[in-house]
Amino acid sequence: MTTETEIKVDAGVNLSVSDAVGMLEAAFSCAGAANLGRPTLEAVRVLVRDGRVRMAAADGFRLAEVVSESEQTAEIDILIPRESVQAALKMLTGHKKNAGATVEITAGRVAVIDPDANLIASLAFTPTEGSFPNYEQLIPPVRDVDYSRFAMNGKFLAEVGKIVGKYGASGIVRVQPGADAKSPIRFDFTGTDDWYATFVIMPMFVDWK
Give the pLDDT score at 1. 40
Contact 74, 5 (CB under 8 A): no
Give the pLDDT score at 94. 87
How many domains in the chain?
A: 1
End-to-end CA distance of the chain: 33
What residues does 16 pair with on adjacent strands? 102
Q: Which element (helix H / strand E) includes 201?
A: strand 195-201
Does residue 191 form part of some domain?
A: yes
Give the pLDDT score at 10. 44
Does residue 207 form part of some domain?
A: no
Give the pLDDT score at 209. 53
Residue range of the domain that includes 67 = 4-201
Does residue 206 form part of some domain?
A: no
Query: Which residue stretches of the chain have pLDDT < 70?
Result: 1-10, 36, 143-150, 205-209
CATH of the domain at 9: 3.10.150.10
- CA torsion through residues 9, 11, 16, 17, sign: positive
Give the pLDDT score at 19. 94
**Nearest residue to 79 via CA among 160, 159, 163, 4:** 4
Does residue 209 form part of some domain?
A: no
* Four-point Cα dihedral 183, 153, 148, 175, nearest 10: -90
Give the pLDDT score at 45. 97
E strand segments, 82-194: 102-106, 109-113, 119-124, 132-133, 174-176, 185-190
